[in-house]
A and B are shown apart, each in its own frame.
Chain A
Amino acid sequence: MRLQTASLIVCAALLSTYALAAGNRKDFKYTVGNNASVNVVNQFGSVTLTPATGNQVVIAATTHSDDVEADCSQNGNRIEVRTHFLKSANDSDGKVDYEIQVPNGAMVTAQVASGSIRAERLAGDVTLKGDSASIEARNINHAHVHANTVSGPITLADITSGHVEIGTGSGKVSLTNVSGPSVTVNTTSSGINYDGDFGSSGAYQLATHSGPIDVQLPASASVEVKAESVNGNVQNDFPLQPKTHSDFKPQMGRSFQGFANSGSSSVNLHSFSGTIRVKKR
């Protein structure tokens, strides 16, 4: 009998250990009105943002230890999601993974120190901030997309009609099919890669201190390009027509300027010591 009880206790202990390792999931659901806002702060782990059906914010939070818990609350039209540390924890025990569905038009702010943030198919403004966390945003239209990291990579794809602002110290920036009235990227030491046609109009500014800038665009792109690397090199493999009546005096190997087709989008590429390459796709 004693042996049987002991076996049961061991099994229960093993099961609870397994459950904690696999994660402890909690679900939250809030009904919101138009123009809701969702604010997420999570030090370690992932945040995944996808569209909800209807006017509900649906949150699935998975903790990986008893050191942390997910605090979710509603104040009117504002939803707050925050990881609460019950005691000091490292990035393994303090990890919380959030899967959050947000309704159309909701404004989302998500901050993760270490881990990842992924936002896709959203129909509202998003502000995503990471320390070393990676940021990925896809399929977002007619919205403001702001992304900042210290060292985490930032990947944006299929963003149309966006007001895009990206800033990072050393995280690699990759933009694929990103267009809109205003697209700005500013990095200190990391590279910037843009692959797309720059849309039908808009102002694009890709700037870095020491990272390379690589641009691939199709022959059909309607752009006016100005590229300058103060102490680095520029390489252009895209057929541009020289611009007349310009104050800008290009220097061979250091800068160039020109336009293609009707030049409807302005593209400004700037680096101090990185190489700038523009290629036809």
Chain B
Amino acid sequence: MNCAEFQKDLPEIIEGGGTDEQKKHLATCPICADLVQDLKYIAEQAKLLVPMEDPSPRVWDGIEKSLKQEGLWPAHGGPANPRPFLVPQRSRIAWPMMAAVAAIVVAVVAGYYSRTGPAPSNGVTNQAIASSGTLGPDDQQLVRAVSTRGAAATDSYRKNLEDVHAYIADAKKWVDAHPDDLDARDALMRAYEQKQLLYEMATQDWQ
């Protein structure tokens, strides 16, 4: 099983653990393991969103835009207004929110892979990529893709990715220390938006 096949069934894997073959791939592939770990963390944090206020409209706009860009929006055009579709009732807020955030992450990562080709299937290569520097394997691959734009761009992306990881780590710490603090959760969302921005800009088709 390769990464693309594995990532196609991500929702089922996260919910049910996956088949033996998927579990085997997960155990040997740091890229997919990292992705699943991130999505599980988002899912955990999203559960805390049950009693919170609605996020700002730009969050919904961003979600809708991302879903449309990645072709995940229903072909018939989807609901006229995404907000009641995503947040119909307070009791249902956690799952749609989690699904939406997860969809963005999956969409961005999937979009990235579709542009740069599948991740290396060689476990040793993956391991080597994962262990180099402070960036994760997906980030390393992103930096490699950007390297065609020159040394300055490569350094800029590498530095920005490192900084955004520090942002996410600090925000996660803050959420963990203050799980009921809305500002902390907003900060975590903002940190992930910054990572999303980097991936979007890195995968921009300029020609």
Asked if chains A and B come from one complex, the reply is yes
Q: Name A's B-contacting residues (CB within 8 A).
A: 41, 43, 83-85, 91, 111, 113, 129, 131-132, 148-151, 165, 167-170, 182, 184, 186-189, 207, 209-210, 228, 230-231, 270, 272-273
- B150, B152, B174, B191: which contacts A230 (Cβ < 8 A)? B174
Interface residue? B69 (CB, 8 A):
no
Interface-forming stretch among B75-83, B104-112, B121-129, B199-207? B199-207
A83→B171 CA distance, assembly (Å):
40
A209 in contact with B163 (CB, 8 Å): yes
A207: B residues at CB distance < 8 A: 187, 190
Residues in B neighbouring A129, C-beta threshold 8 A: 201, 204
> Given A151-B160, A167-B197, A184-B58, 15 other A-B contacts at CB below 8 A?
A131-B204, A148-B197, A149-B201, A150-B198, A167-B194, A169-B163, A169-B194, A169-B197, A170-B156, A170-B160, A186-B194, A189-B163, A210-B163, A210-B166, A272-B171
- Determine which of B150, B156, B174, B187 lies in contact with A150 in the assembled complex, contact meaning CB atoms within 8 Å: B156
Whether B153 pairs with A131 at a CB distance below 8 angstroms is: yes
Q: Is B159 an interface residue (CB 8 A)?
A: yes
Q: Which residues of B contact A272 (CB under 8 A)?
A: 167, 170-171, 174, 187
- In angstroms, Cα B183 to Cα A228, docked, is 10
B193 at the interface (CB under 8 A from A): yes
Q: Specify the chain A residue showing the minimal Cβ separation from B160.
A: A169
- Closest CB in chain A relative to B17 CB, distance in Å: 35
Residues in A whose Cβ lies below 8 Å from that of B170:
209, 230-231, 272-273
Contact among A85, A91, A132, A270 for B207, CB-based, below 8 A: A85
Q: Please state if B163 and A170 are interface contacts (CB–CB under 8 Å).
A: yes
Q: Do the beta carbons of A188 and B204 come within 8 Å of each other?
A: no
Chain B residues within 8 Å of A230, by CB: 170, 174
Q: By the criterion of a CB under 8 Å from any partner CB, how many residues of chain B are at the interface?
A: 31
A13 smallest CB distance to B (angstroms): 30
| Contact string against A for B residues 87-121, beta-carbon threshold 8 Å, 1 for contact and 0 otherwise | 00000000000000000000000000000000000
Contact status B152-A150, CB under 8 Å: no
Q: How far is the CA of A83 from the CA of B207 in the complex (A)?
A: 7
User: CA separation between A270 and B183, bound complex, in Å?
Assistant: 9
Q: Using Cβ atoms and an 8 Å threshold, which residues of chain A touch B163?
A: 169-170, 188-189, 209-210
Q: Residues of A contacting B152 with CB < 8 Å?
A: 132
Q: Known interface pairs A85-B207, A131-B153, A150-B157. Does A169 touch B174 (Cβ–Cβ under 8 Å)?
A: no
Q: Is the CB of B167 within 8 A of A209?
A: yes
Q: Of all chain B residues, which has the CB nearest A228?
A: B183
**Whole-angstrom CA separation of A69 from B103 in the bound complex:** 37
Chain B neighbourhood of A150, CB < 8 A: 156-157, 160, 197-198, 201
Query: Which residues of chain A are within 8 angstroms of B159 by Cβ–Cβ distance?
Result: 170
B204-A111 in contact (CB<8A): yes
Bound: A151/B160 CA distance, A? 8
